[in-house]
Structure 1
Amino acid sequence: MLSIIEQLKLGKLWDFPGGIHPPEQKKLSNQSPVSAAFLPDELVIPLKQHLGAVGSLSVAVGDKVLKGQALTHTDVALSVPVHAPTSGVIAAIEARTIAHPSGLSDRCIILKPDGKDSWGTKNTITNYLESEPADLIEHIRSCGISGMGGAGFPTARKLQSASGKTDLLIINAAECEPYITADDRLMQDYADEIVEGIRIISYILKPKMTVIGIEDNKPEAIAALTQSVKEQDSILIRVIPTKYPSGGEKQLIKILTGREVPTQGIPADIGIMMQNIGTAHAIKKAVIDGEPLIQRVVTITGQTVSTPCNTWALLGTPVQALLNRYGYKIDKKQPRVIMGGPMMGFTLPHTEVPITKTANCILAPSRKELSAPGDEMSCIRCTACAEACPVSLLPQQLQWYAKDGDYDKCEEYNLFDCIECGACAYVCPSEIPLVHYYRQAKAEIRHRKQDALSAERAKQRFEAKNARMEREKEEREQRFQKAAEQRRKDMAAKGGDDAVAAAIARVKAKKEADAGTEVKPAVAAAIAKAKAKQAEAQAKAQSAAPGDTALPDNSEMAKLREERKRQAREQKAAKAAAEADAPVAAPEAEAARPSEGDPKKAAVAAAIARAKARKTAQAAESQAEPQTDKPAEAAPDEQATADTQADPKKAAVAAAIARAKARKAAQAAESQADKPADAVADEQAITDVQADPKKAAVAAAIARAKARKAAQAAESQPDKPADAVADEQAITDTQADPKKAAVAAAIARAKARKAAQAAESQADKPAEAAPDEQATTDAQADPKKAAVAAAIARAKARKAAQAAEKEAAEKSADNNNKPNEENK
């Protein structure tokens, strides 16, 4: 089987599916040579005139530039710089409308020519055969050369990707688009320069064969190229039939080699490289002459142009300037200017759009020559579009999915294989602008893919950052561990311990010591005492008689807390006593100002006040009725004082005993005169009671007992209304104010001490003492039992008072009857 090269030498050709034969209309512009370029009033130079990244600015507003000077620079492979087409001044850098189907604006450099057309430095490579291919590729890139056949892909990048793996180099000279004759005229006028450019490309790629594919409707160009390559055995010229779009990259490869480029692939995938005629000429100018890409051949054609032709146009020349130069007469009814041919071109929004590297034709047709597209109608499913498609696609389905926004289906139906040739729209009877739908769908898919790619890159950067942070963390930990190990080794070598380990050990030891001293011995003892008292009270309650009143104790935890508080208060009081200057020398002064916040001091002060009251009572009673001292009574008071110092609850028991005694001698105590000493004791007692709210409750109970006694006395003694009124007022006051209750309690205790000796001389003293002692014991065990005992004592006091009154009345009656009996 013959190889592709052998088949090419034998002149074998293939065909591609579909295709159309529209009117060529090439005779309008290919009859005259390419005219020279001219200087317009201003040049609008877009920064992006190629497929790829935009370069960075190298000039600023107001800078003077020379012809061929680079205006941008870039180090990106998929980017090329732009150059000044002539010498002049940078007037502005602003957004202007660019040559694009969208009609959008982009950043442009506005250059005002100075008319001198002065060249800058030219970097030429006269003997390129002695240069490295990589140096030639870089030189081509720096001269700003990109594909001039349509897409504008950077030529240097294209050559670099195919270097060393190209078997066949194809030069596209088909120029199948109607009306366009730029390449045709370029080949006729500059065939030698084109062939030289082809040799440079062949030197870089080193292919096995170079083929120039040209349509048979260009006989003059074919003759010129044949004359230029007659001595070049490695360059073949193959004439192909005229058929649109035979100038497409994939279609021309199919015609010349019979091979098909894979879906979404490039010719380099099958060992083929394709370059345009205009690109080959630009490479020759860049390498041999040192001129960057600053101009190109543009076809000016259409029936509204008086002199259709091909001309050299400086990049950045406004379309309106070209039209004016060659006699453009606007069609008043339907003005329209198309950039490109009638099949793949697009209508310009206005004529101030500049010429770029990919602009090869300006078509200004009349309304009769090229009618405007009509209104879009519904598809009639004629399949004409599918039959005309040169890529064997299904244009009808693609249009449906593109219109519906189903871009996944568009890709599934190989939308990106569409070359946008316009053959489907040309044959559509419904005048559906199919190519417009495809372009819009392609742009949207590219945009989405770019967003997805950006998101993926951001994700990768984020993951890389996290990985780096974890790695740095591990490295730090390893460094710290190594440093610690080295420090331990150094300490061991020096005979010392690790300072860090020692510090940690000290902290742990301190924590353990603190944990061990949380419960102090005093607190533990108080807790044990409280539990013992509770157990004793429960035992007594269980052994009590059925008739006795026993209240259960369900406040164990409360007692424990109170015990802890009492221990804390005792510690605080002891500390305060130690800090005092003379606590023993002045006990009365200390008692005169008890601490309002310390119950212990309040209890001590109350005991002192009771002792003083007893002494005063004894002195007062010795003046009225001499009696012998009662040492037995003083002993219990002293014992009560010691008990109250030890426990505030015992103070409540002592108060209960005082109330019992007060009830026994209430009538005798009320008949005595007020004593100043008692008032002093009462004031001290008032201060004591204010420090403890419990004493207020005790005083209130005493006041109620006094009220009952006062009522009985008022009934039996009508000559004492003032005392009864005072007692009633005291009862009301104590109910309204705890402080007044405290005063009343103090008065009651004073009166009790005054009448204590008289009450003890009664015959029923032993019987009353026993219940009082029992009440004292119960009250020490439980405060609730103390209240019960107080109530029992009050009842007994009332009974004793009534019995005393009855006995006094009987004695009085007996005394009254004795004189009468004696007289008899």
Structure 2
Amino acid sequence: MASEKQRALRPNDFPGGVHPPENKHQSTGEPIGNIALAEELVVPLNQHVGATALPLVSLGDTVLKGQKIAEADGLISAPVHAPSSGKVMAIEPAPVPHPSGMPADSITIRTDGEERWCDLTPCEDFRSLAPVDLLEKIRDCGITGMGGAGFPTAVKLDPHGGAKIDTLIINGTECEPYITADDMLMREHAAEIVAGTEILAYILDEPERVLIGIEDNKPEAIAAMRTAVKGTRFDVVVFPTKYPSGGEKQLIQILTGREVPNEGLPANVGIVCQNVGTARAVYRAVRFGEPLISRVTTVVGEALDRQRNIEVPIGTPIEHILKQHGAHKGKMQKVIVGGPMMGYTIDDLRSPVIKTTNCLLVPTREELPPAPPAQACIRCGFCAEVCPASLLPQQLYWYARAEDREKLQAYNLFDCIECGACSYVCPSSIPLVQYYRAAKGDIRIAEAEKEKSDRARERFEFRKLRLEKAEQEKEAKRKARREAAELARKQREESAGSPESQAAQKEADVVAAALARVKAKQATPEQQLARAQRTLTSAEHRVERMQKKLAEAEDGQRDQLAAQLKAAELKLQEAQQKLAQAKAQAEPSAAADAAATPSDAAGTASSRAQSAIEKAKAAAAARASLSEADKLAADIAALKNRVAKAEARLDKARTDNDSNVDAFATALEKLQQKLEDKVREQDKLSGRGQEP
């Protein structure tokens, strides 16, 4: 049984790889240390893969150590916590460690030196909680991958699609030169790493195998981890040192022989891989309730007086760390975040340490000479020999220079892990990885633009379909109304001679007479004069109110009130003109009424009402005798007259800055729609008349 297990744990190899100088002894001469707390901590809101966290604090707020200051925005995101107690001084873009050199949204905290913790929720027995509750606790504590791009750990531990996980791998490889943060962490905190691994295995429903992979150049870490796993079913697997064996896909191939498919995830082959630093952070989050607010970082380089590993609060400015380690600006060639193979140079030393900052490399020019100018590719093929992903770096280089995105994707550009092995062996000193990174960025931008345009096109097509459907529904309603009107007309024609129709005609005459009396009563000169007087009084009062407001107004409101006063004065002038017209019309009528006797006046009013009734009856009779086409023509003529009046009224309202402009415009649109319906109905009626 033991021999079978040993055969199963025998490491495999992966294609390619290089053996650069390790340079790990410089920072392992003393234990993990600490530095003085910085006066200000700059905490970026995006220290992980996914969406930027949303701030929960405001400017001037006092925060406690471990307090959540930004909430995760969506599934692929992680919250951010205060690394120390203090006061929020800024929420704005600030320099961050990123290859682009661009600032990002951050929260700046001025520390008070008291290190006052917020209330934490410890858990002595993690098995008393369900895996889903542990996942929520890990997510709430902001745990992300600490050995790579910073993928949210809770998402990685909850693979979607129902994938069955049979292997958990804890990555203690740390293959990059100079970096020893994981090495020292395993030496000094092996028990916490194993305890965190037990929690991870419990969440994943106890996978069949739990493997801790370590390169053979870390004997002290290997011994510490083997001691810590005694009494557990975990296996420490040691394998030969080769860069980049710490890559996730490469480590999976070494330990299990499985290959992650193109553009696939380890979960697709039943594996979850976590860093040793992440395992320790999970343990402290569950056991003590501590969020991820600090990490172990290697500070190394010959431009420093002191080289070692430190546990540093997230958000500590890099310039503060270098000052604590005696950095000589005259000797510094540059400052690299990460190692010499996959790291990147930063120019602004105000940038802070974040959750993924595993190393600060400060070399001298002699220690790490600048790369010579790039020369023409000689097609030696060394880059293809050392590529751990079995790609064709030379072809990718040419396609990247030609910006041929289709070819780049066809040659699996996104399988490149940007390890830098190809650039390391290139005799022409071509910065191949930089070309690949730029090409990946261009492709992502192009895909985002395409997705955006596709969504816009879908919205446009949906709107077009919606409008067409609405027009079809309107046309169906118009057709139904026309058919109903035609049916009613036929029914009226058929029942024209019946007693019921005669009774209906009498009832219509009575209604017409009543309407005529009301109209005659409303149209008397006296009522027009009274209405004009009321309008004038209202206009005068409005002008007085506006004058008073203008006199009391502040400077910022005077222009607006002056415009309103001008409009009120124009309304007053119009009311005065209408009153003069009403008086002119009322005087002849009053004189005639004064000359007439009461009986004559009564007779005159009666004759006017009788005349209006006769006119209404005549109009109703005339319309009843008209054909359908003539009725439509009469309706169209009347509607055209009303449309012309409505247009004139709208133009005048716009000129006068009337507040009822919108109402007048809506009324005009309705009249125009009615006119269009009548014209359409007339066209259809004339078309029916021409049919054989």
What TM-score, normalized by structure 2, do the two folds share? 0.68
Q: Using a 3 Å threshold, how does the CA distance of structure 1 residues 516 and 182 change in structure 2: closer, same or farther? A: closer
**Cα deviation per residue 1:56-85 (whole Å; 9 max; x = unaligned)?**
111111111111111111350001111110
For 1:677-716, list aligned pairs within 5 A.
none
Q: Which residue of 2 aligns with 1:293?
A: 292
Shift of 1:194: 0.6
Matched AA of 2:108? I
Q: Which residue of 1 aligns with 2:630?
A: 514
Q: Which residue of 1 aligns with 2:172?
A: 173
Q: Which residue of 1 aligns with 2:223?
A: 223
Is the 1:164–1:205 Cα contact (8 Å) retained in structure 2?
Answer: no
Q: Which of 39, 42, 53 is the matching residue for 2:37?
A: 39
1:150 corresponds to 2:151:
no
Matched AA of 1:325? Q
For 1:258-657, list aligned pairs within 5 A.
258-332=257-331, 335-466=333-464, 510-512=626-628, 514=630
Is the 2:51–2:73 Cα contact (8 Å) retained in structure 1?
Answer: no
SS at match of 2:159: helix
Q: Using a 3 Å threshold, how does the CA distance of structure 1 residues 62 and 225 change in structure 2: closer, same or farther? A: same
- Distance (whole Å) between structure 2 residues aligned to residue 73 and residue 138 of structure 1: 13
Q: Which residue of 2 aligns with 1:127?
A: 125
Is the 1:88–1:112 Cα contact (8 Å) retained in structure 2?
Answer: yes
Q: Using a 3 Å threshold, how does the CA distance of structure 1 residues 512 and 456 change in structure 2: closer, same or farther? A: closer
Q: Using a 3 Å threshold, how does the CA distance of structure 1 residues 104 and 231 change in structure 2: closer, same or farther? A: same
SS at match of 1:101: coil
- Distance (whole Å) between structure 1 residues aligned to residue 413 and residue 333 of structure 2: 33
Q: Using a 3 Å threshold, how does the CA distance of structure 1 residues 476 and 16 change in structure 2: closer, same or farther? A: same
Q: Using a 3 Å threshold, how does the CA distance of structure 1 residues 6 and 83 change in structure 2: closer, same or farther? A: farther
SS at match of 1:71: strand
* Aligned-CA RMSD value: 3.2
Number of residues paired by the alignment?
503
**Cα deviation per residue 1:379-411 (whole Å; 9 max; x = unaligned)?**
111111111111111111111111221222111
Matched AA of 2:86? G
SS at match of 2:429: coil
Q: Using a 3 Å threshold, how does the CA distance of structure 1 residues 481 and 343 change in structure 2: closer, same or farther? A: same
Shift of 1:12: 2.1
SS at match of 1:119: coil
Q: Which of 74, 80, 83 is the matching residue for 1:82?
A: 80
Matched AA of 1:279? T
Shift of 1:126: 2.8
Q: Using a 3 Å threshold, how does the CA distance of structure 1 residues 405 and 228 change in structure 2: closer, same or farther? A: same
- Distance (whole Å) between structure 1 residues aligned to residue 6 and residue 167 of structure 2: 11
Shift of 1:21: 0.5
SS at match of 1:161: coil
Q: Which residue of 2 aligns with 1:204?
A: 203
Is the 1:37–1:314 Cα contact (8 Å) retained in structure 2?
Answer: no
- Distance (whole Å) between structure 2 residues aligned to residue 32 and residue 517 of structure 1: 103
Shift of 1:331: 3.7
Is the 1:26–1:179 Cα contact (8 Å) retained in structure 2?
Answer: yes
Shift of 1:324: 1.0
Matched AA of 1:250? K
Q: Which residue of 2 aligns with 1:247?
A: 246
Shift of 1:182: 0.2
Is the 2:54–2:73 Cα contact (8 Å) retained in structure 1?
Answer: no
- Higher RCO (CA < 8 A, seq sep 6+): 2
Q: Using a 3 Å threshold, how does the CA distance of structure 1 residues 335 and 513 change in structure 2: closer, same or farther? A: closer
Is the 1:38–1:313 Cα contact (8 Å) retained in structure 2?
Answer: no
Is the 2:175–2:215 Cα contact (8 Å) retained in structure 1?
Answer: yes
SS at match of 2:295: strand
What TM-score, normalized by structure 1, do the two folds share? 0.57
**Cα deviation per residue 1:475-528 (whole Å; 9 max; x = unaligned)?**
88999999999999xxx9xx999x9xxx9xx9997444739999xxxxxxxxxx
- Distance (whole Å) between structure 2 residues aligned to residue 195 and residue 477 of structure 1: 74
Q: Which residue of 1 aligns with 2:191?
A: 192
SS at match of 1:352: coil
1:138 corresponds to 2:136:
yes
Is the 1:216–1:241 Cα contact (8 Å) retained in structure 2?
Answer: yes
Q: Using a 3 Å threshold, how does the CA distance of structure 1 residues 480 and 413 change in structure 2: closer, same or farther? A: same
Is the 1:197–1:281 Cα contact (8 Å) retained in structure 2?
Answer: yes
Q: Using a 3 Å threshold, how does the CA distance of structure 1 residues 110 and 482 change in structure 2: closer, same or farther? A: farther
Consecutive unaligned residues of structure 1, counting only runs of 5 or more, are: 519-824
**Cα deviation per residue 1:683-708 (whole Å; 9 max; x = unaligned)?**
xxxxxxxxxxxxxxxxxxxxxxxxxx
SS at match of 2:108: strand
Consecutive unaligned residues of structure 2, counting only runs of 5 or more, are: 509-621, 635-692
**Cα deviation per residue 1:752-786 (whole Å; 9 max; x = unaligned)?**
xxxxxxxxxxxxxxxxxxxxxxxxxxxxxxxxxxx
- Distance (whole Å) between structure 2 residues aligned to residue 461 and residue 313 of structure 1: 49
- Distance (whole Å) between structure 2 residues aligned to residue 514 and residue 167 of structure 1: 87
- Distance (whole Å) between structure 1 residues aligned to residue 117 and residue 273 of structure 2: 32
Q: Using a 3 Å threshold, how does the CA distance of structure 1 residues 486 and 31 change in structure 2: closer, same or farther? A: farther
SS at match of 1:171: strand
Task: Please say which of residues 392-401 and 82-91 is displaced more in the overlay.
Answer: 392-401
Q: Which residue of 2 aligns with 1:70?
A: 68
Is the 2:170–2:211 Cα contact (8 Å) retained in structure 1?
Answer: yes
Q: Which of 137, 157, 160 is the matching residue for 1:159?
A: 157
Q: Which residue of 1 aligns with 2:556?
A: none
